[in-house]
A and B are shown apart, each in its own frame.
Chain A
């Protein structure tokens, strides 16, 4: 247990110390929020869907958590050759504990990032229906963070070099974001797109946040919750398995 805690704490300390990274990672969500939120706002309004900023704020929060958590897992690739990971792999600690410590650390950092972006959204004019539901949205953020940290670890354990990183970015991370309904409503989509969005785990995370923050939902909060919990468990097991197979 002490090993899990120590590794978790390490991720947290690293995050709080690197102010540059902290600020840099806010750039993209803020850009989306301001450029799309205000740029597409009038069109969205005219289509009779209400405020676009309201609608996309949970999407941008979800995006932040997605990026941050999946990158912390992918960082393994670098870390195992030039970083601290090797030191932990020869320590007399079961690999499962190391994986859990790292994953939870990465997930915690991702949630903190998500909260920061939530504050930015609030400043930009985002207003949840009830403030009391914000803690429930936090629950969805945590689930998104765990799902994608575990996925990141699974992928990071399997990659061989940095070229793979670009591949993952373009064919996994960005599609996960764009096909999640972060930017558009899930109802009334063309059939093919509707199928793909249903397969995207992030859809459920963002839909869950929308259902608690805005009281509008496509799948229903309970379905969102069930899908995310089940997926988190499957991916944690899968990530732990891949992690146990790392050879340096």
Chain B
């Protein structure tokens, strides 16, 4: 479903993604793990047509997202690291607008919106403005919205950041449910190793832009001779803390946190 070969992305002299190759099969849940600044988000941006790769090739469901941008975009849904809902509109309206943008026919749009809002336990709140939702509810709505146009692939970029264990647990349960019911391929990133261990069928670990390991959680633990994924991760990527210099996005993120709680 996703095939990435020798993917490279450089920003000036800095190589963010360095010769990365991997494949994700249809219906698989693939966790992409790595420390801050390792190249996870850059990779997702390239996969989702938001950034042009410097080199290498990408195939989504057999399509090159650079050449067939709109065709490729119909085939995936994405939940970004930062919120992307419209807080001044209701949950229902957010779903409606997404459906219009993805050319989902009127009748099907309503039917799927109802199904998904019920599944993600938001149906009773569909007429409430999204700005009144809790962090977990917003996340659930974003994921429900990502599923609306029946994508073949769902990208989740740190979807559980800042959520309590209950919300995280519930969120993954829902994602797994849809993954099984609709055979959607899921590509996720997270910093919670226990989540990756529990949810993902296969894992790729990226560090300094290079893919340092990939395989099932079990295989990775065996390969590194560790008991749990967290130890395996630390063994693969070392224990030094990565201090990224804060870019403008990070500064704005900090500012946003001051004003609103996610």
Contact = CB atoms under 8 A, between A and B. Distances in A.
Partners in one complex: yes
Interface in A154-169: 160-162
A39 B101 CA distance: 51
Given A10-B97, A87-B98, A160-B248, A92 B86 contact: no
B73 A90 contact: yes
B49 interface: yes
B10 to A, nearest CB: 14
Interface string A80-99: 01111111111111100000
Contact of B80 (A3, A86, A161, A247): A86
B256 A92 contact: no
A18 B100 contact: no
Nearest to A18: B88
B48 A6 contact: no
B82 A82 contact: yes
Q: Is the interface of B mostly helix, strand, loop or mixed?
A: helix
Interface in A1-31: 2-3, 6-7, 10, 13-14, 17-18
B89 A92 contact: no
A172 interface: no
Interface band, chain A: 20 to 34
Contact of B88 (A6, A17, A91, A248): A17
B82 A90 contact: no
B100 to A, nearest CB: 4
Interface in A64-108: 78, 81-94
Nearest to A78: B252
Contacts of A160: 248
Given A10-B86, A10-B89, A82-B82, A88 B256 contact: no
B15 to A, nearest CB: 18
B53 to A, nearest CB: 13
Nearest to A86: B84
A82 B83 CA distance: 6
Interface string B229-262: 0000000000000000000110111011000000
Contacts of A91: 73, 98, 101-102
A3 B101 contact: yes
A90 B50 contact: yes
A248 B45 contact: yes
Contacts of A17: 88, 129
B82 A81 contact: yes
B74 interface: yes
A92 B70 contact: yes
Nearest to B251: A161
A248 B252 contact: no
B108 interface: no
B125 interface: no
Interface in B70-128: 70-71, 73-74, 78, 80, 82-86, 88-89, 93, 96-98, 100-103
A92 B84 contact: no
16 contacts: A6-B100, A13-B88, A17-B88, A81-B249, A81-B252, A82-B83, A82-B252, A83-B84, A85-B84, A86-B82, A89-B50, A91-B102, A92-B74, A92-B103, A94-B70, A247-B51
Given A87-B84, A92-B103, 15 more contacts: A3-B101, A6-B100, A10-B89, A10-B97, A13-B88, A78-B252, A81-B253, A82-B252, A84-B84, A84-B86, A87-B98, A87-B145, A88-B101, A91-B101, A161-B248
